[in-house]
């Protein structure tokens, strides 16, 4: 086999720069997606029919269509037919955030609904408001149950962020494609990029494993 | 102290409470007995509006528990204040598992009553001592026995200084050998003048501690009176048949 490690070392710094962009994109999408997802989760268990329906429509729509299509709508559709022009970075962050929010919302909703109903009743019975009970009693318990599925979701998000390469965002994937085009050394370039993805996903695995163990204190 | 008048509640087409009315005087202990599915728990849960009654009035100290306004914010605030004056103890304890015994009691004091943390901790310690758990204050609920958990739950409710305490089958989920410690805390409360309304299957407790026993079946009060009369000499055949089955 013709495999040259020298090429891997030579292009690793360039690929690492792309990886930084991937991390930035993923981090922003995680933060936005989690905040947005929390609100959508709370809305989807609301007693108000309209709020609940809107939230469930959102998750139905976003989870039911491909991320790639969503990115295309935002990057190609909005400027051409709606006059809303976003930079590749802004479009990528928007698309990934909107997408992850739907998945995170479902994770949070499921975790909240898995908490025994008696917890809310006990909190309300001592006079706590719905939001006090949510914030101080329900969410802290639900939080622990969200950790494993959230870990999965963030790993998937990090890998799926490679789709932004298709909307001219120079992330790790796109950098690898460009390096391949100039070197014609696909094995070295893509395996090196793969190693960088693996490094990043391993970071999530380790961090979430750690969180899971730390939050297990009271059980 | 507690006035319940014409309480109706149904789940869908199934009526659970069919016009229940009674009063509980300050310091009085009322035990509610009756077969399961008869509406006992629903009655308690309607008193603090964990379940909203379809019709009827619940008053604590002359003040209606049901909010008078339509404004959702005001409704919630009114309900929260009324509930903080009505202590409730659940069959399955419902302690907050992510909080220690002390933190379980502190929670309502700081969040609802806005008492400063240090002061709240002192108050919580007093109540946990009162239920005999001074040495367990830093344990998580999962490390406590059922009887200990229920005593923490009682302390949590008591610390709010409620005007009345509701007990919803507080010993039904306990192993037999742990029932006594919970009943003795309840007895102690009754002797100290707490107004209490307890759904219970502990007829011995009802006989010794209650001022009045109420037999509820099919969503109605079938019979009520002094424990000796209701338990030893029931007037209504349904009461008699229930008591003979329990004993």
Q: Is A216 on the interface with B (CB under 8 A)?
A: no
Encoded tokens for A219: 């059980």
DSSP H/E element including B33:
strand B29-33
Instruction: Say what percent of chain A tops pLDDT 70.
Output: 98
User: For A97-156, what is each residue's pLDDT tens digit?
Assistant: 999 999 999 999 999 999 999 999 999 999 999 999 999 999 999 988 899 999 999 999
Q: Is A126 on the interface with B (CB under 8 A)?
A: yes
Instruction: Please indicate whether, in this complex, the C-beta atoms of A141 and B98 are within 8 angstroms of each other.
Output: yes
pLDDT (0 to 100) of residue B107:
97
User: For B62-77, what is each residue's pLDDT tens digit?
Assistant: 999 999 888 989 999 9
Among candidates B97, B99, B112 on the partner chain, residue whose Cβ is nearest the Cβ of A126? B112
Q: Is A128 on the interface with B (CB under 8 A)?
A: yes
Beta-carbon count within 10 A of B121 CB: 18
Residue pair A185/A5 in contact by the 8 Å Cβ criterion: no
Ordered structural domains, chain A, with CATH: 5-216 (1.10.3720.10)
Which of B62, B56, B29 is closest to B200 using CA atoms? B29
Which of B199, B234, B163, B235 is closest to B31 using CA atoms? B199
Question: Per-residue pLDDT for A22 more than 70?
Answer: yes
Give B5: exposed, middle or buried? Use CB within 10 Å, 0-12, 13-18, 19+. middle
**β-strand pairing of B196-199 with B86-89:** unpaired
Mean pLDDT along residues B157-186: 96
DSSP E strands, A83-177? none
User: For A27-77, what is each residue's pLDDT tens digit?
Assistant: 999 999 999 999 999 999 998 999 999 999 999 999 999 999 999 999 999
User: For A162-209, what is each residue's pLDDT tens digit?
Assistant: 998 888 888 899 998 888 988 898 888 899 899 999 999 999 899 999
DSSP string, A68-96: HHHHHIIIIIIIIII-----HHHHHHHHH
Sheet holding B212-217, edge to edge: B86-89, B164-168, B196-199, B29-33, B212-217, B220-225
Question: Per-residue pLDDT for B246 more than 90?
Answer: no
Note which residues in 102-161 of chain B have CB less than 8 A from chain A.
107-108, 111-112, 140-142, 153, 156-157, 160
ipTM over 0.85: yes
Encoded tokens for A103: 């998945």
Which of B64, B66, B63, B20 is closest to B41 using CA atoms? B20
Cα distances (angstroms) measured from residue B2 to each of B18, B85, B140, B166: 19, 11, 34, 11
Q: Is B97 on the interface with A (CB under 8 A)?
A: yes
pLDDT (0 to 100) of residue A59:
96
Shortest Cα–Cα distance, A170 to chain B (Å): 44
């Amino acid at each position: 086999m013709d495999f040259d490690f020298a090429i891997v070392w030579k292009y690793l710094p360039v690929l690492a720069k792309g990886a930084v962009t991937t991390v930035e994109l993923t981090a922003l999408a995680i933060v936005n997606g989690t905040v947005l997802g929390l609100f959508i989760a709370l809305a989807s268990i609301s007693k108000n029919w309209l709020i609940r329906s809107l939230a469930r429509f959102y998750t139905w729509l976003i989870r039911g269509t491909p991320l790639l299509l969503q990115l295309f709508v935002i990057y190609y559709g909005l400027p051409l037919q709606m006059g809303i022009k976003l930079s590749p970075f802004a479009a990528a962050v928007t698309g990934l955030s909107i997408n992850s929010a739907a998945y995170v919302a479902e994770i949070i909703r499921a975790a909240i609904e898995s908490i025994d109903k008696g917890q809310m009743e006990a909190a309300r019975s001592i006079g706590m408001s719905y939001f006090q009970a949510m914030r101080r009693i329900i969410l802290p318990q639900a939080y622990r149950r969200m950790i494993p599925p959230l870990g999965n979701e963030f790993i998937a998000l990090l890998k799926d962020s490679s789709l932004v390469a298709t909307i001219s965002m120079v992330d790790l994937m796109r950098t690898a494609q460009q390096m391949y085009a100039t070197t014609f050394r696909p094995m070295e370039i893509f395996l090196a990029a793969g190693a960088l993805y693996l490094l990043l996903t391993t970071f999530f695995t380790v961090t979430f494993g750690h969180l899971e163990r730390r939050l297990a204190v009271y059980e | 102290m507690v006035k319940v008048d014409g309480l109706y509640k149904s789940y869908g087409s199934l009526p659970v409470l069919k016009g229940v009315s009674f009063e509980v005087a300050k310091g009085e202990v009322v035990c509610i007995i009756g077969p399961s599915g008869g509406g006992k728990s629903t009655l308690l849960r309607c008193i603090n509006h964990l379940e909203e009654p379809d019709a009827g009035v619940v008053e604590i100290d002359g003040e209606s528990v049901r909010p008078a306004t339509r404004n959702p914010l005001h409704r919630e605030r009114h309900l929260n204040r009324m509930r903080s004056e009505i202590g409730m103890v659940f069959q399955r304890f419902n302690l907050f598992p992510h909080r220690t015994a002390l933190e379980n009691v502190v929670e309502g004091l700081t969040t609802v009553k806005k008492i400063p943390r240090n002061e709240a901790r002192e108050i919580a310690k007093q109540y946990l001592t009162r239920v005999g758990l001074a040495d367990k204050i830093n344990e998580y609920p999962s490390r406590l026995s059922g009887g200990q958990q229920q005593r923490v739950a009682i302390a949590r409710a008591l610390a709010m200084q409620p005007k009345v305490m509701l007990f919803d089958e507080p010993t039904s989920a306990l192993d037999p050998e742990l029932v006594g410690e919970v009943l003795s805390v309840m007895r102690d409360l009754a002797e100290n003048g707490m107004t209490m309304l307890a759904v219970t299957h502990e007829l011995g407790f009802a006989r010794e501690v209650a001022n009045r026993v109420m037999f509820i079946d099919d969503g109605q009060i079938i019979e009520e009176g002094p424990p000796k009369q209701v338990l030893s000499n029931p007037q209504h055949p349904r009461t008699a048949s229930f008591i003979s089955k329990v004993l």
